[in-house]
Amino acid sequence: MYVLLAATGMRVSEALALEARHFINSGRTIVVEQQVDKDRPRIVNFLKTDASWRQIELHPDVADYLRKFVIGKSGLILHTKHDTPYLYGNLAEDWLDQRLAKLGLYEAGMGWHSFKRFRNSWLRAPA
């Protein structure tokens, strides 16, 4: 999850809705076309904005790493033991916020969004 979010800049709701079929071009490209509903563990076929419909090219090292994780899977690549999508609020509360707090990095409301900002910062950094 960390690698996926930091390397792609995806919204957490989009990442949690990824299915194996969304990895195209030998796993080097991710198609973003759905997201997890905020309040219910279900996939919805709309995104936050019209610009959210996109294809994300992956760095070859990231593509190789994710390909190993996705290979042989069908349906959601990240799911609960009941094969339903995770709710990102629950993941933040039960998992991410606790880890950020231990590192002294917790900031209310910034958990998942900081991964999106991480990628943008690296893309905009001078070479």
> Which strands make up the sheet holding 23-24, listed edge to edge?
23-24, 29-32, 54-57
Q: Each residue of 18-47: pLDDT tens digit?
A: 999 999 999 999 999 999 998 899 999 989
Whether the per-residue pLDDT at 127 is higher than 70: the answer is no
**Whole-number pLDDT of residue 99:** 75
Q: For position 11, which CATH number holds? A: 1.10.443.10
Among 98, 95, 100, which residue's Cα sits nearest to residue 114? 100
**Whole-number pLDDT of residue 1:** 83
**Whole-number pLDDT of residue 113:** 63
57: Cα separation from own chain's centroid: 14
Whether the per-residue pLDDT at 116 is higher than 70: the answer is no
> What predicted TM-score, i.e. pTM, was given to this entire model?
0.78
How many domains is the chain built from?
Answer: 1
Which structural domain range is residue 50 located in? 2-124
For residues 10, 91, 117 and 26, what is the CA-based torsion angle, rounded to 10 degrees?
-30
**Whole-number pLDDT of residue 5:** 87
